[in-house]
Structure 1
Amino acid sequence: MSQYDPLIDSAAARLGNALRQLGLRVTTAESCTGGGIAEAITRISGSSGWFDTGFVTYANHSKVRWVGVSEEDLQQFGAVSEPVVRAMAEGALLAAEADLAVAVSGIAGPEGGTPDKPVGTVWFAWAVRDRGVLTQCRRIQGSRRDVRAQTVLHSLQGLIAEAEKLAVNRSA
């Protein structure tokens, strides 16, 4: 059990409540978390009402095959990059026929970092159907387990923020 588990559980429940109220579905495209975001979402009872598909695209060829990342972007920018997570989020949204998507790609460590992309570098993308994609890069400190857990938590928090924006727009 991680120190982040209670925060992750709370965020997943909050996301589920928001999506249920809005009648929306979410999908995930995950690399460095290995399915951790989808696992957190499905910890919540009733999650089949807002989640039915997630993509664990740990290998580059999986990113190309399942969520439509271009081989050119992978070669030019690397898997841990804004163009790749943007494509992952857009591709997952389309493939899953969902309303919201989150994508993550990062270097959880302890190996694999470079001077340009040190361990703890994680790119995030949140896509909303017919509204575009928001991307963000974070440098997360801690062990591999910490990096992965904080990535899951931040991903859920971003989805909550996007769902809340949709709720405000619907009520306006």
Structure 2
Amino acid sequence: MKTLVIVTHPSIETSIINKRWVEELKKYPEKYTVHELHKVYPDGNIEVEREQQLIEAHHNLVLQFPIYWSNSPPLLKKWLDDVFAYGWAYGSNGGDKLKNRKAALAVSAGIKKEDYREEGKYQYTLAQLLSPFETSFRYCNADYRSFFAFYGTESFEPHTGELDKSAQDYLNFVDNL
């Protein structure tokens, strides 16, 4: 089965990293379904049953987003709150649709990697900041597989060749969930 990549970026057209990752994923439609929440739900009204069916039709789930104020864009939080519902994603009444489903994150961070350390400027690692996502997946008995990150987007120069390497590394990460 294919991997479903939920992309949440409010301005993907002007993005450098997330846009490039999406372009790379879309080269392989037989392997990845790219689902861009801001394009599908510009009004923020999520069709929960449709989203749940989309997840059920895929073996792996990746949430791709830029880090916003040490979190995800608001639409992704709303999507999680609506779609990962009691009785579907968790609960005593058959909520097991994420059970054993491989899940991961792919994030772009404006801050440099060295600032995401306990001794760094912000005193938290990226893993610590992303732990609520890991906890949510584990609560739903999903098989959480960690995260892929690109750091330093605030000072990134796209002509360095690093962008293409990042896209290839990202595909390798997703393929090896």
After TM superposition, is the score higher than 0.5? no
Going by fraction, where is helix more abundant, 1 or 2? 1
TM-score scaled by length of structure 1: 0.40
Q: Which has the larger radius of gyration?
A: 2
